Structure 1
Amino acid sequence: MKFIKLIFVVLLAASPSFCQLIDKDATRETLKLFKSLKKIQKKGVVFGHQHATEYGRGWRGDDNRSDVKSVVGTHPGVIGIDFSGFTGRNADLYKKNLKKIVEDAYNRGGIITVAWHFYNPMGKGGFYWEGSDSIKVVPRLIPGGDGHVKYKEILDEVAKWVNSCRGVNGELIPMIFRPYHEFDGGWFWWGAPHCSVDEFKTLWKFTLSYLRDEKNVHSFIWAFSPDNKFNTEAEFLERYPGDEWVDMVGMDNYADMGRNRYDLDAAVAKLKVVSDYARKHKKLAAFTETGLESIPNKTWWTETLLKVLKAENLRLSYVLVWRNDQNSETHYYGPVPNHISAPDFIKFYQDKFTWFEEDLIKKNIYKKK
């Protein structure tokens, strides 16, 4: 009987449809999320919004609120958060508030994705190149660099916080972790003009191995997401660390989606590179960031975003639009009641192809008892 079971496992691993996380010690819930997303992307795509339940237009910190919920009655399926405040002046309060956001979202049945607008740890500047004292940081953080010890101390705090986030039954909460995003551009200090290919890959591999193997972080799905400065698979993979270091591949693209131009064919072609690679290599795929600031196009949701998502038999697990600033009159990417795009967003929500939090709850994606 054991011999038959072994044969079954070997055959399953060889099957084209079989996929697994790069972390062999990943938690049960993390593996369930990975498999659920794999199934969902064959049927549709989960809609996400950055900082959706932290704040919105004119409000902050309201319990169980989001601008999306105010329009359609349910939260986005994916809630985007950020580790940016982990190295700020009020880091402890930031972590405490973020922990509640994450635990509430997970306990309702939603999905969490994490970006990291990482403030330059070797200077007084921010995460933008021009605002980070314009010094090369990546070579200083990797092994052998003068900031390597400090970087490990920062990762220690990340690990401590991640392993403190628990569901109602004490289980670790899965998160899609997307560090060093948009690395093909030059606006962040980790961008392509500011470090070599090998330095970037070393930074990625060290970060993953340290958190997973040294600090026992086993609730991450690791996502690799450049901006849209590629046209071919080879260009997309220029800084790719290897399949053993990535669970999800994605792309950020605002430029082709209305910010600089409406070039939906280009957006689809780039997403197809991402989707096709994921299918060939048994990874998840996602449209990790997009949106149109202020949404002046009243049919952007169905005539731009949904049209792109449905094209070319793409398989994307989620799409995430950027945040709604609480104070700015123009910096927002999600719908609000009475906005000119709100009626079209309702159509977007009603389409069976799009998944929101209520849909994830019905499917019990973590297979909670």
Structure 2
Amino acid sequence: MGKYFAFAFCLLIFNCSAQQVVPVNKNATKEAKELLQYLYRIKDKKTLYGMHNIIGGMSTSTDSIYKITGSYPAIWGGDFGFADEKHDIDNIKYRPLLVPEIEKQYARGSIIVLSYHQANPFLGEPTPFEGGIISKLTDAQWKELTTPGTALYKKWCAQMDIIAVYFKQLQAAKIPVIFRPYHEMNGGWFWWGHRKGADGFKALWNQLYNYYTIHHQLNNILWAWTPDKPLEDVADYYPNTNTVDILGCDIYPQKNKAIVYPQEWFDRMLKLANGKPLALTEHSVLPNQEILKNQPWAWMMSWGKMVFDQNSREKIRDFSDFKQVIMLNKLPIKIREHKKK
């Protein structure tokens, strides 16, 4: 019999109330419910620290944080890839290695976050980043994509069917996943971006949500909507409070601007979240304690090597010791044994 491990979070952690919350998917697994419950308990108080890893390196970035700080990040982040050997770090040939690595990280105690740079359905995969992920659909192609039964819609379904296989393996292993598809949709670089209105990005998001929760019956997913820096029009891309569990945003330094994390951005997202957990889903420059005090993200995720390029080893070590920050060794977990029938 195989042995699996799952989170069982203490009900009274951080002296929080016993408020009961449920994922937007009413059929969510027990493990997904427990994870979301935990995020609600720490929001506004603590920040889980996470690290994104490229599929061609699996846990290289996570391991680097351990070598610097002596602690693993509380969150392991990854991606499904999109490329071939010409861009090997995102090569789809590594996908079969993804679930075993996630099982290893989850057994260690890590929370799992998965991103997905989906190839333009019109072009298919493998695809380059420039000209593939960063590309455009015409208005006519977009309408075809979001219209069930069309040729382009069927191509999109075939792509999502491939990824669904991995989620089903994780669901069988009782592993919950925070999934952040179609990130930075308020920017104009990715093929899914910069489309406002009910027939724009919102239609694609809700199409994926329904396809995965209804057609594929994937119930181990917590759905994270994560735009780029939240400018004034960010709410125009918010799909539906009934299909989003967690809100977040990606924030990187702006050219010729000293402030990396404007307070107005956090306040805008906090208002939009309306009580849902809020995350800093991509970043490079680590915030200081004062910023975290005023902007208490429930979790944050450094984007691979960028955090090492833009922060000294000393700064990374100091950050891991902040009282607000939860590294893996500070994560309150009671490990339970699950036996596979």
In structure 2, the residue matched to 1:267 is 262
In structure 2, the residue matched to 1:96 is 96
Aligned partner of 1:308 among 284, 291, 311:
291
Question: Does 2:75 correspond to 1:78?
Answer: yes
Question: Does 2:101 correspond to 1:106?
Answer: no
TM-score of the aligned structures, taking structure 1 as reference length: 0.75
2:143 & 2:187 partners in 1: Cα distance? 17
Residues 39-82 of structure 1 deviation map (CA, whole Å, 9 limit, x = unaligned): 12243101111107x67xxxx46799611000111211111111
- The code of the aligned residue for 1:358 comes to N
CA displacement at 1:103 relative to structure 2: 1.0
- The code of the aligned residue for 2:219 comes to H
Change (3 A) 1:365 1:320: farther
- The code of the aligned residue for 2:161 comes to D
1:1-369 alignment, distance < 5 Å? 17-51=19-53, 60=57, 66-85=63-82, 93-123=93-123, 126-128=128-130, 134-136=136-138, 138-144=142-148, 145-165=150-170, 171-192=173-194, 197-231=198-232, 235-256=233-254, 260-264=256-260, 267-278=262-273, 280=274, 282-292=275-285, 301=286, 304-311=287-294, 314-324=295-305, 332-334=306-308, 341-360=312-331, 363-364=332-333
2:22 & 2:224 partners in 1: Cα distance? 14
- The code of the aligned residue for 1:118 comes to Q
- The code of the aligned residue for 1:220 comes to I
- The code of the aligned residue for 2:292 comes to L
- The code of the aligned residue for 2:47 comes to V
- The answer to whether the Cα contact below 8 Å between 2:20 and 2:37 also exists between their aligned partners in 1 is no
- The answer to whether the Cα contact below 8 Å between 1:201 and 1:240 also exists between their aligned partners in 2 is yes
Task: Give the aligned length.
Answer: 313
Give structure 2 stretches of 5+ with no counterpart: 1-16
Change (3 A) 1:355 1:133: closer
- The code of the aligned residue for 1:316 comes to W
CA displacement at 1:368 relative to structure 2: 6.3
Change (3 A) 1:118 1:318: same
- The code of the aligned residue for 1:206 comes to Q
- The answer to whether the Cα contact below 8 Å between 1:37 and 1:317 also exists between their aligned partners in 2 is yes
2:134 & 2:315 partners in 1: Cα distance? 40
TM-score of the aligned structures, taking structure 2 as reference length: 0.81
- The answer to whether the Cα contact below 8 Å between 2:119 and 2:133 also exists between their aligned partners in 1 is no
CA displacement at 1:305 relative to structure 2: 4.2
Percent of aligned positions that are identical: 25
Query: Which entry has the higher C-alpha Rg, 1 or 2?
Result: 1
2:188 & 2:220 partners in 1: Cα distance? 30
- RMSD, aligned CA: 3.0
Give structure 1 stretches of 5+ with no counterpart: 1-14, 293-300, 325-331
CA displacement at 1:92 relative to structure 2: 6.8
SS at match of 1:98: helix
Change (3 A) 1:237 1:28: same
In structure 2, the residue matched to 1:329 is none
Change (3 A) 1:32 1:192: same
SS at match of 1:165: helix
